[in-house]
Amino acid sequence: MQVSEKLSQLRAAMASESIDAAIVGNTDPHNNEYVAPRWRCREWLAEMKGSNGTVVVTADWAGLWTDSRYYQSAEEALEGTGIELMRMSDIGVPSIAEWLKKNCKEGETVSFNGTNTCLKQAKAWIKTLKPAGLEIRSDIDFIEPLWTDRPAAPKGELYLVGDELTGQSIESKISAVREKMADEKVDAYLLGRTDESCWLLNFRGTDILNQPTPYCHTLVTTDEVMFFIDSDKLTDEATEKFTAAGITLRDYDEVEGVLEKLSSDTRLLIVPHYLNYQLAKASEQCIQIEGRPIATDLKAVKNATEVKHLKQSLIDDGAAMVRFYVWLYKSLKAGEKVTELSASKKLEACRAEVPGYRHVSFESIMGYGPDGALNHYSVDEESDKPVSLENIFLIDSGGNYAHGTTDTTRTIPMGEPTQEQKEDYTSVLSSMIELLILQFPEGTTGAQLDGVCRLNLWKQARNFKHGTGHGVGFGLEVHEGPQNISGVNAEHMKLGMITTIEPGCYRPGKHGIRIENMVHTVVSQETDFGRFFKFENLTFCPLNVDLIEPSLLPAEHTEWLNNYNAEVFEKLSPLLSEEETEWLKHECRAI
């Protein structure tokens, strides 16, 4: 079915329900970043891929809101569909709610699907639309009847992870959660985000491609822990382990009924950006307390065991990347055909050799030349292009291992770099190093760090439109909160947090550059002005020096770089063949 026909059918269905505007997103009931195919309603409707994109359809207009990462790919996908691209990262572009407020008439009705819209988003829409005289419906799934071959909910088996990896038992984590619940004076707490349940109960799942979190909920009360998951996902071992820990097992769909039956004096902690609107309504009789996500806050501060494992995983991962680099250059020099897709598969194969490998942490971004300028370009059969020994190559990828989740970006020259490429690369590298050598006082926010990172780029009138960094889960999701490094993040960077630093510079039609390391917040020193923290580098993967314009790299940054590459060589060479070691030695030479 063509997009235009899908839109026609949707409009007919909207008319029969007297809906004037429908919002169709790609979100699932847990506001996961990566969602099972069943929930990719926007992708089905507009045939536009990517982790961010929401369609609004009215009787005579349709628009798709997405951020700068997807501008170019969305533009291509939407061509000829009649759906207008709304560039939401640009200044002056109205938000969905602002657009609806302006373009809908008083008394008209807007609909969204409450089961796959988080409470925070639903409330924000309602807050803007209701006072503008618009009606809201959240109980219609327009896509279900139209999407005839819609995939079923996934049934992936879950598996346990041992305390020797997580460093903390289920029982100890439950105690820690209950302690925080007591501080917050709540009787019950619904863990809405799936990775929170994985962390709490020391398991992982296989429902979603490259995402270790199965569809599930956990409700912790003062005397019970109810784990909601389809029973056919549970192995005997898991059932036994959970039962032994005193956990009540319930089917996934039972959560709504359990919430409806909570007594009206229950003080229920809910987290608006993790809980869907439908479940929030199901528990309306309780005293709902909107608060911080306890499990997310606890999970973000990694324990010593997790950090120890993660460090090893990043060394293993770095060695895998070096094996890939050696293959890449060798193949091309031997005249073999390499494409972005074949390179992506090879890199995955290199990672798969690492003991403990589960899957990639996200679809690799393999951007050769102009494709690198598409911020979060994801290669597929259609977009695949050959890689040659000419332009520069942006590779953003990572592995999900039993001992840690990794996320590394490198930009490497495939031929003789241009002066512009060198200057862009050196600016970006210098921006990353600035945060790696920084010390900052306890209480520093992600937004302050974001400004520091961009300073060097701004001085040269460069900038990038995505965030500077994000939290990373331990063998869990590659993006996790609460912290991130961006212009509006007010969270404090805490000891033990694991975060990426990934500045970039993109020239559409030419090339893209991004460099990304993972870091661990540690103490720098205690002074009269309080405690200062700093970032301990965790990523060990060579930083190419042929792309550097030495006159633009401050001496302090050059020193850091030389020490870094020396350490990379020291840590990775024991894991490599003689040929790989030789290549790495040259790659890590001091400048």
Judged by the rule CB under 8 A, the positions of this chain that interact with its own copies are 91, 101-102, 127, 130-133, 183, 185-186, 267, 287-290, 438-445, 447-452, 454-455, 458-459, 461-463, 487-488, 490, 492, 507, 524-525, 527-530, 532
- Closer Cβ to its own copies, 59 or 182, answer by number: 182
Give the single-character DSSP code of 330: H
- Asked if omega into 482 is within 30° of 0 (cis), the reply is yes
Distance CA 190, CA 293 (A): 9
Element (H, E) at 404: strand 404-405
- Closer Cβ to its own copies, 222 or 463, answer by number: 463
To its own copies, the closest distance from the beta carbon of 225 in angstroms equals 22
To its own copies, the closest distance from the beta carbon of 461 in angstroms equals 5
- Closer Cβ to its own copies, 267 or 346, answer by number: 267
- Closer Cβ to its own copies, 442 or 559, answer by number: 442
To its own copies, the closest distance from the beta carbon of 98 in angstroms equals 9
What count of residues does the chain have?
591
Distance CA 54, CA 83 (A): 11
- Closer Cβ to its own copies, 132 or 140, answer by number: 132
Question: Where are any strands of DSSP class E within 222-348?
Answer: 225-228, 247-250, 267-270, 287-290, 338-339
Q: Are 202 and 160 in contact (CB under 8 A)?
A: yes
Give the single-character DSSP code of 231: G
- Closer Cβ to its own copies, 1 or 522, answer by number: 522
Distance CA 254, CA 326 (A): 52
Question: For residue 211, which of 36, 410, 86 has the smallest C-alpha distance?
Answer: 36
To its own copies, the closest distance from the beta carbon of 444 in angstroms equals 7
> Beta strand pairing status for 109-111 and 21-24?
parallel
Distance CA 196, CA 121 (A): 20
- Closer Cβ to its own copies, 329 or 532, answer by number: 532
- Closer Cβ to its own copies, 120 or 359, answer by number: 120
- Closer Cβ to its own copies, 186 or 545, answer by number: 186
To its own copies, the closest distance from the beta carbon of 447 in angstroms equals 3
Give the single-character DSSP code of 276: B
- Closer Cβ to its own copies, 162 or 487, answer by number: 487
To its own copies, the closest distance from the beta carbon of 397 in angstroms equals 26
Give every CB contact of residue 56 below 8 A, 6+ residues apart in sequence.
Answer: 21, 22, 23, 24, 62, 63, 65, 96, 99, 100
Question: For residue 146, which of 57, 278, 34 has the smallest C-alpha distance?
Answer: 57
Distance CA 92, CA 329 (A): 44
- Closer Cβ to its own copies, 273 or 507, answer by number: 507
To its own copies, the closest distance from the beta carbon of 285 in angstroms equals 14
b/e per residue 117-146 (b: at least 16 CB within 10 A): bbbbbbeebbebbeebebbeebebebbeeb
Distance CA 491, CA 403 (A): 27
Distance CA 24, CA 89 (A): 19
Q: Are 370 and 385 in contact (CB under 8 A)?
A: no
Element (H, E) at 146: helix 143-146
Phi, psi of 436, rounded to the nearest 5 degrees: -75, -25
Distance CA 186, CA 245 (A): 22
- Closer Cβ to its own copies, 120 or 507, answer by number: 507
Distance CA 81, CA 538 (A): 45
The tokens for 439 are: 């010390």
To its own copies, the closest distance from the beta carbon of 436 in angstroms equals 13
To its own copies, the closest distance from the beta carbon of 491 in angstroms equals 10
To its own copies, the closest distance from the beta carbon of 458 in angstroms equals 5
To its own copies, the closest distance from the beta carbon of 513 in angstroms equals 13
To its own copies, the closest distance from the beta carbon of 459 in angstroms equals 7
To its own copies, the closest distance from the beta carbon of 475 in angstroms equals 30
To its own copies, the closest distance from the beta carbon of 145 in angstroms equals 33
- Closer Cβ to its own copies, 39 or 440, answer by number: 440
Give every CB contact of residue 146 below 8 A, 6+ residues apart in sequence.
Answer: 6, 9, 10, 13
To its own copies, the closest distance from the beta carbon of 189 in angstroms equals 13
Tell me the CA end-to-end span of the chain in Å, nearest whole number: 57
- Closer Cβ to its own copies, 358 or 462, answer by number: 462
The tokens for 441 are: 């006082």
Distance CA 473, CA 507 (A): 31
Find tokens 């030349």 and name the residue.
Answer: 369
Question: Where are any strands of DSSP class E within 230-293?
Answer: 247-250, 267-270, 287-290
Q: What is the largest CA-CA distance in the chain?
A: 73
- Closer Cβ to its own copies, 346 or 507, answer by number: 507
